[in-house]
Amino acid sequence: MSSTVALQNMRAFYNNGGTRSYTFRKQQLKKLKQALLQHEEEIYEALYADLKKSREEAYLTELGLILAEIRTILKNLRQWMKPKPVTTNLFNFASSSSIYRDSLGVVLVISPWNFPLQLALMAAAGAMAGGNCVVIKPSELAPATAAILQKIITASFPPEYVCVAQGDGAEVVTEMMESFRFDHIFFTGSVGVGRAVYELAAPKLIPVTLELGGKTPAIVEADANIDIAAKRIAVGKYTNSGQICIAPDYILVHTSVKEKLLKALIKAIKSFYGDDPGISYDYGKIINKKRFDKLLNYLQQGNIVAGGRYTAASLFLEPTIMDGISLESELMKEEIFGPVLPVIPFETMEEALAVIAINPNPLALYLFTTDKKKEHAWISTVPFGGGCINNTLVHFSNPSLPFGGVGNSGIGHYHGKYSFELFTRPKAVLKSPTWFDPSLKYPSFKEKLRIIKMILR
Ligand code: NAD
């Protein structure tokens, strides 16, 4: 079947209204959960094949997060779907006002390869909770996971409700969008492709959510607990071999604690991955040769303090720490997206802010300090998507927190209730009684200005 016909079928299915009842949404999300549990082993195998993720990491960073998201939705959906009464102003006296949440229609979810299951299904679950039909376009660079995703979706849902469109991103998405108007596009990926998707959507005025990347700083103040900072930065940086949109991209450390932090980082890496991370159960691989070569090139752009070993055949690159880096280097101008960690010393907050300003609006920011005033100063000064104090990554895992970027790192937020709000739109309704019908509201308005001014205050 051509993609045009398949999408027209989706549109017809949506227009029939079947996706919008609470019961339908609940049943479908339960079905998704069941299917994920049924295919748990195959999911682990696929994530190992694509990224060498251990079962535990696969659960912690992919499957477990999706299941938790579905749990949150199922627990709250009925409440979220209820029209919310709001106050009504004096001008509309005797009327009542409510906000309904309307489904959007047929939604396209485009996802990347680094968390190939989680990033596709967290968004898709939100779209289903919103009562929409969903097309999922997974990354072709994680083919084993794309295949199991397609198997799960095909086995669970009719294609006119949720389907998977596989293939080259530019080709597949452009083809679908030439003949069809999606009601929303949810894109997770790189800034460049995000821009291309935004441009594709613009002529048809399709609303777009962009979850992009960027250079996330980890700031270590002189008063930080250095051992804790090192452990939490190392786990944030080297999980999935640094291929995480919110991984600490580089460290800004107060000069006075730089040496202490470097020692603690080396110790943390060794305790996590042993003497040879190449044979570690817990350490992953780089997604492909192109990315691997890009990362090797970064190793030439400063001093290697620790790590730096690699094996091209298995796409293994050791957890690496670097210093002596020019702010003009590619390493400090591009999103690293791998296990290479530049360490930049600073003396004053102004100096550190100037480094962040080279790549403004990071997706995340991590601050390590024990000083409340510094917390306030950093959080209120730097625009960033979201982040942690004395931790890394974990803000992503709390469904009560909105997740998204700002400026270059994205447009829009999701997770939990924020996903429901993203994949529905507020529909304002004011209901007026018929028993109250003041003549003031009708022409002629002559001589009524004084009273109109009073009630419109
Ligand atoms: P990418 O932008 O290359 O690809 C993302 C998706 O877009 C893939 O499914 C791909 O097939 C598709 N695509 C490619 N070209 C397209 C086009 N012209 N039109 C439409 N779709 C197209 O990203 P990637 O390499 O898969 O992922 C890495 C990037 O994603 C990093 O920059 C990372 O920071 C970012 N990312 C962001 C988040 C977040 O939540 N903000 C999460 C993970 C990754």
Q: In whole angstroms, what is the distance from residue 368 CA to residue 296 CA?
A: 29
Catalytic residue numbers read 211, 245
pLDDT at 140: 97
List, in order, residues 6 or more apart from 1 with CB less than 8 Å away.
Answer: none
Separation of CA 397 from chain center: 11
What mean pLDDT is predicted for residues 32-42?
98
Evaluate whether 191 touches 214 at the Cβ level (below 8 Å): yes
Which of the listed residues 245, 335, 361 should we mutate to test ligand 1's pocket, taking the one with most ligand atoms within 8 A of CB? 245
Residue 413 C-alpha to ligand 1 middle, in angstroms? 17
Q: What residues line ligand 1, using a CB cutoff of 6 Å? A: 110-114, 119, 137, 139-141, 169-170, 173, 188-190, 193, 196-197, 211-213, 245, 335, 337, 363, 405, 410
Banded model confidence at residue 3, pLDDT cuts 50, 70, 90: confident
Q: pLDDT tens for residues 254-291?
A: 999 999 999 999 999 999 999 999 999 999 999 999 99
Q: pLDDT tens for residues 82-103?
A: 999 999 999 999 999 999 999 9
Evaluate whether 272 touches 236 at the Cβ level (below 8 Å): no
Closest C-alpha to 77, from 38, 34, 28, 120: 28
DSSP single-letter state for residue 162: E
Q: In whole angstroms, what is the distance from residue 225 CA to residue 350 CA?
A: 22
**What average pLDDT does the structure give for the chain?**
97
Q: Which CATH superfamily is domain 3-212+407-428 in?
A: Aldehyde Dehydrogenase; Chain A, domain 1 (3.40.605.10)
The encoded tokens of residue 53 equal: 């993720």
Residue 457 pLDDT > 90: no
What mean pLDDT is predicted for residues 223-236?
98
Which of the listed residues 174, 186, 190, 397 should we mutate to test ligand 1's pocket, taking the one with most ligand atoms within 8 A of CB? 190
- Take atom 7 of ligand 1 and give the residue whose Cα is closest: 169
The encoded tokens of residue 84 equal: 């919310």
In this structure, are strands 424-431 and 96-103 parallel, antiparallel, or unpaired? Answer: antiparallel
Residue 400 C-alpha to ligand 1 middle, in angstroms? 25
List, in order, residues 6 or more apart from 12 with CB less than 8 Å away.
Answer: 160
217-398: CATH topology is: Aldehyde Dehydrogenase; Chain A, domain 2 (3.40.309)
- Secondary structure of the chain: what % helix, strand, coil (to 5)? 45, 20, 35
What mean pLDDT is predicted for residues 421-431?
98
Banded model confidence at residue 1, pLDDT cuts 50, 70, 90: low
The verdict on pTM exceeding 0.85 is yes
Residue 243 C-alpha to ligand 1 middle, in angstroms? 12
pLDDT at 456: 87
